[in-house]
């Protein structure tokens, strides 16, 4: 007997709305947080947050870490973490400099940077998967190792990239092709869409959720958990190298300390966006919005009139608060 057919539309409508809310609770939550924070900024510092200049500034600087936050979201959903991406940014640029200085070929140098990032990411993956060291500890170690390596290889010196400015690749990466929107924003959008498709529309993505949720079950059902992890770590490495290239191009200089200070912002963006620190849960939209909230906070702290000293304190607070909030929310939903 199917009594459902006789029910008035309003009841099925309400049922569907409830289902929709339930299925998308995390994403709706982050959208709400985004709007509330934004409103708060506008009220606190209207002259800053009602002008278009600040938004161009966000679109200019947020992509550097948001691009890394995308694959990092995958890693955290899979129950892993990568703390070494800041050092991978620097190592990618070391490879860039080593190729660019003798050849003068920007494109080739970028390929070298991305390849280096991918290989380092893969090494992280091999340490975690092959030796079985928890990724938190493994990448804490590789973070220092690669930072040290980048300093040793270039003897701690930076490199000027002003000569590269003339190249088309340079313009394509950090110039302005459409209106006054910085091109790195388009790259971020492209990578966000790519990562979304990977996570939501491929078997790899399905397996990322599964191994983060219940690895034993995933293995029993024939999921190759190790290969999935390797791909994710490699992807974080590639994205970190790209983030490093973009950030260095933006300042026309490679600083050997490149990537330091990105850790808190990037992790903050992922966790604020609703990705569960326990794995199995997380969205790309959440990380995307989380990145811009984190990016706006830095500007807002100054615009509201606090000193820059507050930035780290507030980032740290947001990180802990968002992890706690989402954990509580998650427990509620699942009960």
Partner 1 sequence: MEEQYRLELRNVSKNFGEVQSLRNVNFKLGQNEVVGLLGDNGAGKSTLIKIVTGYHQPSSGEIYFNGERVENLTVPRARELGVETVYQERALAELQTLWRNIFLGRELTNRYGLLRVNEMKRETNRLMTESMGFTSSAVDPEAKIATFSGGEKQGVAIVRALYFEAEIIILDEPTMGLSLKETEKLVKFVRDIREAGKSAIFIDHNIVHVYNVADRIVVLDRGEVAGEFVAEEISLDQLMENMIKIAETGTF
C-beta separation of 134 from 79 below 8 A:
no
Does 128 engage in binding with partner 1 (CB under 8 A)?
no
C-beta separation of 184 from 173 below 8 A:
yes
The continuous run of DSSP H or E covering 114 comes out as helix 106-126
The CA radius of gyration of the chain, in Å to the nearest whole number, is 21
Does 3 engage in binding with partner 1 (CB under 8 A)?
yes
44 vs 217, which CB is nearer to partner 1? 217
311 vs 330, which CB is nearer to partner 1? 330
Residue among 22, 157, 165, 253 that touches partner 1 (CB under 8 A):
22
Minimum CB separation from partner 1 for residue 43, in Å?
A: 36
Residue with tokens 């983030």: 243
Residue among 23, 306, 313, 324 that touches partner 1 (CB under 8 A):
23
Does 202 engage in binding with partner 1 (CB under 8 A)?
yes
Minimum CB separation from partner 1 for residue 193, in Å?
A: 13
Tokens (6 digits) for 51: 């002008």
103 vs 200, which CB is nearer to partner 1? 200
Give the binding-site size for partner 1 (rule: CB under 8 A).
Answer: 36
Minimum CB separation from partner 1 for residue 15, in Å?
A: 7
Minimum CB separation from partner 1 for residue 74, in Å?
A: 15
Minimum CB separation from partner 1 for residue 189, in Å?
A: 20
C-beta separation of 254 from 159 below 8 A:
yes
Does 193 engage in binding with partner 1 (CB under 8 A)?
no
C-beta separation of 25 from 328 below 8 A:
no
263 strand-pairing partners: none
Does 201 engage in binding with partner 1 (CB under 8 A)?
yes
Tokens (6 digits) for 59: 């679109």
DSSP 128: I
Does 270 engage in binding with partner 1 (CB under 8 A)?
no
Q: Specify the 3-state DSSP secondary structure of 3.
A: helix
Binding mask 203-232 for partner 1 (x = CB under 8 A): x-xxx-xx--xx-xxxxxxxx---------
Measured CA to CA, the distance from residue 300 to residue 280 in angstroms comes to 32
Tell the burial category of 27 from Cβ atoms under 10 Å away from its Cβ (0-12, 13-18, 19+).
middle
Does 304 engage in binding with partner 1 (CB under 8 A)?
no
Stretch that binds partner 1, among 31-39, 78-86, 254-262, 274-282 (CB under 8 A): 274-282
C-beta separation of 236 from 71 below 8 A:
yes
Does 27 engage in binding with partner 1 (CB under 8 A)?
no
Residue 198: which of 153, 230, 222, 232 has the closest Cα?
Answer: 232
Does 280 engage in binding with partner 1 (CB under 8 A)?
yes
How many alpha carbons fall within 13 Å on the CB side of residue 90? Answer: 27
Measured CA to CA, the distance from residue 202 to residue 284 in angstroms comes to 14
C-beta separation of 150 from 256 below 8 A:
yes
Residue among 76, 88, 267, 281 that touches partner 1 (CB under 8 A):
281
Binding mask 173-192 for partner 1 (x = CB under 8 A): --------------------
Where does this chain bind partner 1 (CB under 8 A)? 1-4, 7, 12, 15, 19, 22-23, 197, 200-203, 205-207, 209-210, 213-214, 216-223, 276, 280-281, 330, 333-334
């Amino acid at each position: 007997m199917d009594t459902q057919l006789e029910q008035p539309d309003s009841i099925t409508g309400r049922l569907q709305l409830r289902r929709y809310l339930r299925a998308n609770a995390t994403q709706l939550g982050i959208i709400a947080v985004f709007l509330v924070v934004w409103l708060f900024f506008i009220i606190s510092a209207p002259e800053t947050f009602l002008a278009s200049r600040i938004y161009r500034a966000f679109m200019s600087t947020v992509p550097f870490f948001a691009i890394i936050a995308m694959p990092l979201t995958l890693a955290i959903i899979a129950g892993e973490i990568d703390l070494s991406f800041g050092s991978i940014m620097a190592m990618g640029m070391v490879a860039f400099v080593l190729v660019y200085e003798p050849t003068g070929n920007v494109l080739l140098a970028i390929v070298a940077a991305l390849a280096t990032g991918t290989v380092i990411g893969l090494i992280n993956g091999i340490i975690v998967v092959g030796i079985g060291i928890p990724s938190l500890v493994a990448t804490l170690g590789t973070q220092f190792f690669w930072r040290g390596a980048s300093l040793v290889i270039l003897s701690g010196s930076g490199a000027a990239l002003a000569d590269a400015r003339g190249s088309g690749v340079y313009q394509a990466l950090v110039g302005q092709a459409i209106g006054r929107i910085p091109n790195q924003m388009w790259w971020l959008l492209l990578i966000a869409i790519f990562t979304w498709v990977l996570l939501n529309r491929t078997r790899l993505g399905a397996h990322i959720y599964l191994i983060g949720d219940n690895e034993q079950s995933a293995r029993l059902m024939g999921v190759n958990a190790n290969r999935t992890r390797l791909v994710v770590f490699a992807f974080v490495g590639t994205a970190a190298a790209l983030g490093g290239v973009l950030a260095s191009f933006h300042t026309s200089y490679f600083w050997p300390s490149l990537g330091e200070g990105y850790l808190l912002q990037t992790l903050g963006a992922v966790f604020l966006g609703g990705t569960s620190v326990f794995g199995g849960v997380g969205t790309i939209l959440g990380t995307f919005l989380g990145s811009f909230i984190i990016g706006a906070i830095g500007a807002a702290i100054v615009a509201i009139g606090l000193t820059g000293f507050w930035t780290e304190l507030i980032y740290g607070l947001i990180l802990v608060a968002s992890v706690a909030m989402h954990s509580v929310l998650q427990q509620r939903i699942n009960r």
